[in-house]
Amino acid sequence: MMALLNAQAEVSAISNDHLLALAAILFSIGIFGFLVRRNAIIVLASVELMLNAANLTFLAGSRMHSTSEALNLDGPVFAIFVILVAAAEAAVGLALVIALFRLKQTVHLDALNQLEG
């Protein structure tokens, strides 16, 4: 138990405010990349960046609500589910990018001006 408390004291050297600020910066970069860039691969990477910012927020929130007597594990559990969703999103997204490249010979989203059957 003492080793766990020492490890938690070393981890908490970074304050929760800094973690939340980093998550906000990462999420803002992801939003910017999603809205501005036209390359499908960059858009998928931006979505992954936003999901990782959400994971960081879950972990910071879990740290804020943990005490020395009871650890709050809700944040890490949600983070694992978000990682699973991100893996599925990456697989489906990259499959769509490959299909787009085979059809249009480009990965720019401007080439998708109409749906074809």
For the four alpha carbons of 62, 65, 68 and 72, in that order, the dihedral sign comes to negative
Q: Domains, the chain, ranges and CATH? A: 2-111 (1.10.287.3510)
Calpha distance 8→68 (Å, rounded): 9
pLDDT in the model for residue 115? 60
Calpha distance 61→72 (Å, rounded): 9
58 token code pair? 């879950």
pLDDT tens digits, the chain, 117 residues: what are they?
556 555 555 556 889 999 999 999 999 999 999 999 989 999 999 999 999 999 999 999 999 988 888 888 899 999 999 999 999 999 999 998 998 889 888 888 887 776 665
